Structure 1
Amino acid sequence: MWPFRRVFAQGGVDPGYRGGVTSPRLPLVIGHRGAPGYRPEHTSPSYELAIALGADAVEPDIVASRDGILVLRHENEISGTTDVASRAEFAARRTTKTIDGARQTGWFTEDFSWAELQTLRSRERLPKIRQSSASFDLQSPIMRLSDLLHLLDRAGDESGRAIGLVAEIKHATYFESIGLSLDELVAAELTDAGWNSGDGRLTVESFEKTVLDQLRGRGIRSKNVFLLEAAGSPPDLVARFGSAADSYASFLTPDGLRMLRRDVEGISVDRQMIRPRTNAESGTVSSVLVDDAHAAGLEIYCWTLRPENRFLDRAFRRGSDPSSFGDWQRDFALVLAAGVDGVFADHADLAIAARDAVVTSFSSRGTVGGSA
């Protein structure tokens, strides 16, 4: 039974729901790397804006510097999100590496000390699509995980509401292979900053279940979420078993999901894997994967809600400009109404507006999806 049905099974609005503030029974809106629809991702202004827009939680990607400082970047290759390529003093650091089976050329966080990384400035990753965000290029430095934890604590004190952290650990097996154990570094950082209190604010996610198990073994009291792709295999399993590694798809079967429940509390998938369907008679929206995950006792999240035509299914695009907003209201509503427990969004305010509209639709008509 999906969240809106639980909330409204007896009719009326859950008394815990107040506008943009999410009841525990409603899907979370998670600011994906902050608010990158408006500001360059993983910067202080991006996270602050996501919180101001009402995000229930924010999601940083975590990689490491050469000296073991946890930094926030989409990938450890940083030429697409910083000005490193224009910095003559770092020209010789350009190199080619194989990360999780993919060959990449550029500049990598693990080849820099934190003192060097903090001299770089952030820039918009998708400048042609998000020109407004790109207008803020080179204004903000790279953040550390510790910086974000302090920002969240401060914002919580000022707003009076708990703001969650959904921390994604990137390339753990690769970093382990070069002597940087992300599980050890992350566990120490969270504990030192008081984020291991078990108060429900902390979620940790990764495409590698091994690092989630390691964190739990280190006593980290987080909700653990396993990220799953539609194709391929987890890098940690490939490193151990080669071509015999279990595929991501094997975890998405009903049996695979039930086995996952022994070790994690949730899964998170590409939004295309949700495949919401509308019942022509009742107007309700459902998803086989969402139903299977819930039947296995798992929460399910999806990434990423984005309003631009480039990221929407053809039916929801408006015009030919890939950077223009399409019919994001209907697109977001379908995903939310399918019963996910949370969504990652680049524009937290738009996802909250879509959630509010779905709630209003359900409470007034007793159904969701008829207008979607």
Structure 2
Amino acid sequence: MKYYCLCFVLLMLPASLWAEEPHVFAHRGASGYLPEHSLPAKAMAYAQGADFLEQDVVLTKDNVPLVLHDTHLDGITDVARRFPDRKRKDGRYYAIDFTLDEIKQLNATQRFSRKTGKPVYAERFPLDGYTYQLHTLEEEIRFIQGLNMSTGQNVGLFTEVKKPSFHQAEGRDIAKAVFDVLNRYGYGADKKSACWIQCFELNTLKRFRNEFGWKGNLMMIFSGGKPGPDGSDYDALATAAGLKQLSETVDGVFPNLPRVVTWDKSGQAECSEFTEAAHAAGLRVVTGVVRRDDLPKHCPSVAALHEALFNQAGVDDVCTDFPDLSVEWLKTQQAD
């Protein structure tokens, strides 16, 4: 009981964090430098000054919330070598088909192509440089809260509920499983709770607010193209009317980058009206992902990307693979 009470006190963010200053959301940790979602990547992002660390969450066979970007284990672990007979008809290995004990036997690395075996980002941390064990949402929470305790800071969670419709089709309720863990560790009591829940499926966010009684912050993620698995029409929700509708449930939006800004062939930024419409609806806007090694088409530099996002498009926050670059750019702006 003493542990939970202490954690609950630590989770109360200083009011200044919820003022107008920008936040840096570390995308899968400092994933530009270390393997995504590894605890070292989270520690590095923490040390680089990120305000929030992201957790993508899926379920294991025994219903444990696991920090993993995909529902698949291949492409980031050696599951095909260790469990060659456990793939589905589509040739993929799904986390939901493995118990946590089995998953803990796997070696995880930097993300790699299943076809070539080569890293997705060739200049990032090498595949043979370090292997790690996948971990649970609860383990990551304890890790972050431990850092908060030892440093006196209060870095928050940025938790994405991955593919709720897929899990529902498998007979699982990932939303409830994630909520139970977060609630047990004191998150979601109010808007100052150091946690954002994010999802591509609006119905899941509505469940958090209305069914589970989540009083913390919720964020709708926008994809491009076709509607989401639950029927979420991203194009319609990106209109002024759609954003106003969203504001009845969520506190922020995470649009895919082209909805906010694009660049012409000369390298000039061209901003949409999305941010203005979102602000008019009372919504906070975070976007990205900032990748030094994968800039948007025609964007000339990381600095130009930050300049366009904050000073031209007017977004509130940034999601980044390179937290240090975003933190440093924002410090430079404040100094000016």
Q: CA deviation at 1:78?
A: 1.6
Change (3 A) 1:29 1:96: farther
- Alignment of 1:348 with 2:323, yes or no, is yes
The DSSP-based 3-state class of the residue aligned with 1:301 is: strand
Specify which of 161, 165, 180 is matched with residue 173 of structure 1. Answer: 165
Q: Which residue in the other structure is 1:109 paired with?
A: 95
Q: Which residue in the other structure is 2:26 paired with?
A: 31
Write out per-residue CA displacement over residues 210-230 of structure 1, whole angstroms, 9 at most, x where no aligned residue: 111112221223201111112
- Alignment of 1:65 with 2:57, yes or no, is no
The answer to whether the 8 A contact 2:111-2:120 is kept is no
Q: TM-score, length-normalised on structure 2? A: 0.86
Change (3 A) 1:24 1:52: same
The DSSP-based 3-state class of the residue aligned with 1:311 is: coil
One-letter amino acid of the structure 2 residue matched with residue 341 of structure 1: D
Q: CA deviation at 1:359?
A: 3.0
One-letter amino acid of the structure 1 residue matched with residue 322 of structure 2: H
Q: CA deviation at 1:135?
A: 4.8
The DSSP-based 3-state class of the residue aligned with 1:60 is: strand
The DSSP-based 3-state class of the residue aligned with 1:92 is: coil
Write out per-residue CA displacement over residues 41-98 of structure 1, whole angstroms, 9 at most, x where no aligned residue: 11110111110111000111110001100001110112111121222xx11111245x
- Alignment of 1:311 with 2:306, yes or no, is no
- Alignment of 1:186 with 2:183, yes or no, is no
Backbone CA RMSD of aligned residues: 2.4
Q: CA deviation at 1:312?
A: 3.3
Runs of 4 or more above 3 Å deviation: 135-138, 284-287
The answer to whether the 8 A contact 2:259-2:272 is kept is no
Change (3 A) 1:260 1:196: closer
Query: Equivalent residues in 2 for 1:274-293 (5 A)?
Result: 274-275=260-261, 287-293=272-278
Q: Distance in 2 between matches of 1:135 and 1:182?
A: 30
Q: Distance in 2 between matches of 1:353 and 1:330?
A: 14
One-letter amino acid of the structure 2 residue matched with residue 265 of structure 1: D
Change (3 A) 1:27 1:68: same
Q: Which residue in the other structure is 2:10 paired with?
A: none
The answer to whether the 8 A contact 1:333-1:355 is kept is no
Write out per-residue CA displacement over residues 154-175 of structure 1, whole angstroms, 9 at most, x where no aligned residue: 1111221111111001110110
The answer to whether the 8 A contact 2:260-2:271 is kept is no
Q: Which residue in the other structure is 1:297 paired with?
A: 282
The DSSP-based 3-state class of the residue aligned with 2:160 is: strand
- Alignment of 1:202 with 2:188, yes or no, is no
**Residue identity (%):** 25
Q: Distance in 1 between matches of 2:226 and 2:22?
A: 28
Return 5+ residue gaps in structure 1 as ranges. 1-15, 98-104, 238-245, 278-283, 317-326, 365-372
Q: Distance in 2 between matches of 1:203 and 1:64?
A: 19
Change (3 A) 1:354 1:345: same
The answer to whether the 8 A contact 1:163-1:201 is kept is yes
One-letter amino acid of the structure 2 residue matched with residue 110 of structure 1: I
Q: CA deviation at 1:351?
A: 0.8
- Alignment of 1:233 with 2:217, yes or no, is no
Q: Distance in 2 between matches of 1:293 and 1:219?
A: 24
Return 5+ residue gaps in structure 2 as ranges. 1-14, 113-118, 264-268
Q: TM-score, length-normalised on structure 1? A: 0.78
The answer to whether the 8 A contact 1:29-1:348 is kept is yes
The answer to whether the 8 A contact 1:39-1:136 is kept is no
Q: Distance in 2 between matches of 1:81 and 1:27?
A: 32
Which protein shows a greater Rg?
A: 1
